[in-house]
Amino acid sequence: MRSTRQLRRLCSAARPFRVLGLQQVAIGSLNKSELSKLWGDVLGVPKIGDYKSEKENVFEDILLLGKGTMAVELDLMEPIDPEKRPKVHVPALNHIGIWIDDLKAAVDHLEGAG
């Protein structure tokens, strides 16, 4: 994950791109707050709710990309108890696919911030 300083710089800078869509759905971590900072604050994806289930050992932030029939839900998950199963953070999804309106601008912006 990025340092707090790098995240502050990304959050305070105007984004020269928009995220248009997402292919993969769920990402797990021991601490979803850093994932929420990246997707919500840095990339500008709105949070629409959260979900918690003791049975499923999951606490997640629910974000939404797109509108109407093109909307895609992004679930940022952390385990309620990391020692119990299911382990929603293992494995963490190792890649995601997103649609960006200006890919070059997004790459330049993110690389420029470190």
Would you place residue 24 in the very low, low, confident or very high pLDDT band (cuts 50, 70, 90)? low
Position 12 scores a pLDDT of 64
CATH of the domain at 77: 3.10.180.10
The single residue listed with the structure tokens 């797990």 is: 28
Quote the domain boundaries for residue 54. Answer: 20-100
Position 88 scores a pLDDT of 85
Over residues 62-78, mean pLDDT:
87
pLDDT of 84 over the 80 cut: yes
Give the chain's domain count. 1
| Residue 12 lies inside a defined structural domain of this protein | no
| Residue 28 lies inside a defined structural domain of this protein | yes
pTM given for the model: 0.65
Q: 87-99 pLDDT, tens per residue?
A: 888 877 655 778 8
